[in-house]
Amino acid sequence: MTRPLSQINRVPAGPEHADLTAAWTVLEGLVIIRGEQTIRIPAGGTWPGEDALPRDVALHLGVIDTTAVQGTAVTRHVTPAALEAGQALVLAQALMIGPAPERLPLMLGRFDLTGVAQSVGAAVINVSRKHFLRLIHTNRS
């Protein structure tokens, strides 16, 4: 059953225990982490906690708070594999959001693009090949 837009809360409360410094896994629903950039952690996904993020990713995201869809539940029980998957989930989203010049260093610090097609590098940070070439040229200057 779909609810009319007029019945959707403008600012739903974040889930209980959605401490941004600690790791947690979403059991049901969807947690939205807001800050300089906004990322989403769906059911089955893990937020690794700010301290488990690489510093450049944490600074790029600039997390402030959480919100969630109704019925969202989280647990603080996080396995090492879920923590690693959560770090990958957050990095994948960080590479796709925010100004492209801020995303380029996130990519260059992690992936060796030697011999890789320019279109692949562009796809990693979600820009056109032409825009990617401009970013690379500007970054080298």
- pLDDT, one tens digit for every residue, the chain (141 residues): 444 444 445 455 555 546 899 999 999 999 999 999 999 999 999 999 999 999 999 999 999 989 898 889 999 999 999 999 999 999 999 999 999 999 999 999 899 888 889 999 999 999 999 999 999 888 776
Contact by Cβ (8 Å): 47, 31: yes
Three-class SS state of 88: helix
Between helix 129-140 and helix 100-108 the angle, nearest 10°, is 70
CATH of domain 1-94: 2.60.120
- Strands, DSSP E only, in the chain? 24-28, 30-35, 39-42, 46-47, 63-68, 73-75
Rounded-to-integer distance, Cα 105 and Cα 125, Å:
10
Give the pLDDT confidence score for residue 121 in this predicted structure. 92
- Which token pair is 137? 């040229």
Q: In what helix (H) or strand (E) does residue 120 lie, and over which residues does it extend? A: helix 118-124
Bridge partners of 46, per DSSP, are: 25
Instruction: State the number of CA atoms in the 13 A half-sphere of 134 facing the CB.
Output: 7
Give the pLDDT confidence score for residue 6 in this predicted structure. 46
How far is CA 102 from its chain centroid? 14
Give the pLDDT confidence score for residue 60 in this predicted structure. 96
* Amino acid code (one letter) for 22: A
Give the pLDDT confidence score for residue 139 in this predicted structure. 79
